[in-house]
Amino acid sequence: MGYERNYRDTTYEVAERMTMNRVYGWMALALVVSALSAVFTAGSPAMLRFVFGSRFTFFGLIIAELGLVWYLSSRIMTLKFATAAALMGLYSVLNGVVLSSVLLVYAEATVQAAFLATGVTFAVMSAIGYFTKTDLTRMGSILLMALVGVIVATVVNLFLRSDGLTTVITYVGLLIFIGLTAYDTQKIKQTLAVQEEYGMHVDVRKIALMGALNLYLDFINMFLYILRLMDRD
């Protein structure tokens, strides 16, 4: 109640900044949780045997991740906030466990450089999405359709094993998530603006959590594509 009261007692501009602070706070926390989970898994022989000792377990974790993020994305507004936050925390842990493979495959210096490059790119694109006056809705729709194409191409390439197609997928995927970072940032502002304009009483904490989840996914995918490009050089 206190949180909602704070929003009612402030101007829209202040409420917007408060919400965006929460978005980036939740996102940063999710990234820290994933990083700690990845480091713990990579440093634990027992966890490595559990996760990578069986294809059934590894792909089971990936399927669990996909199911969890789909459920959270589609039901977040109907879930209790505490439940939604707990599910996002669980997803961050699972993602960190799966991404521990990054620490095993790539050199530490490459991982650090990729993370730094991702952080700078993310900050720039999120700032563009926040401050631009241009409506990015059309661009977002195109990028989401392109993302479907990349997913299909990735699945097909599992069988083709084409280095050329892998390179194309990597560059296109990176560009997609660079663009989606700006789009998703602006979408958070647009959601808040619609709520303000029509007097909708939506839990802004859930809006912040949903925005954080989207930006977290943008960051992670951008990081993975940049990592692949750096490793190819």
Q: In the chain, what are the domain boundaries?
A: 2-232
19-23's contacts with Cβ under 8 Å and 24+ in sequence apart are 19/188, 19/192, 19/204, 19/207, 19/208, 19/211, 20/130, 20/188, 20/189, 20/208, 22/205, 22/208, 22/209, 22/212, 23/188, 23/208, 23/211, 23/212, 23/215
Report the SS3 class of residue 8.
Answer: helix
Give me the amino acid identity at 69. Answer: V
Q: Round to whole Å and give the CA distance between 202 and 208.
A: 11
Give me the amino acid identity at 12. Answer: Y
**pLDDT at residue 1, rounded to an integer:** 39
Element (H, E) at 54: none
Q: How confident is the prediction along the chain (233 residues), in pLDDT tens digits per residue?
A: 344 444 554 567 777 888 999 999 999 999 999 999 999 999 999 999 999 999 999 999 999 999 999 999 999 989 999 999 999 999 999 999 999 999 999 999 999 999 999 999 999 999 999 999 999 999 999 999 999 999 999 999 999 999 999 999 999 999 999 999 999 999 999 998 887 665 666 688 999 999 999 999 999 999 999 999 998 75
From residue 45, alpha-carbon distances to 40, 69, 101 in Å are 10, 28, 13
**pLDDT at residue 194, rounded to an integer:** 80
Question: Can you read off the two tokens belonging to residue 110?
Answer: 């490459």
Contacts of 214 (CB under 8 A, 6+ apart): 184, 187
Contacts of 229 (CB under 8 A, 6+ apart): 170, 171, 174
**pLDDT at residue 13, rounded to an integer:** 79
**pLDDT at residue 199, rounded to an integer:** 60
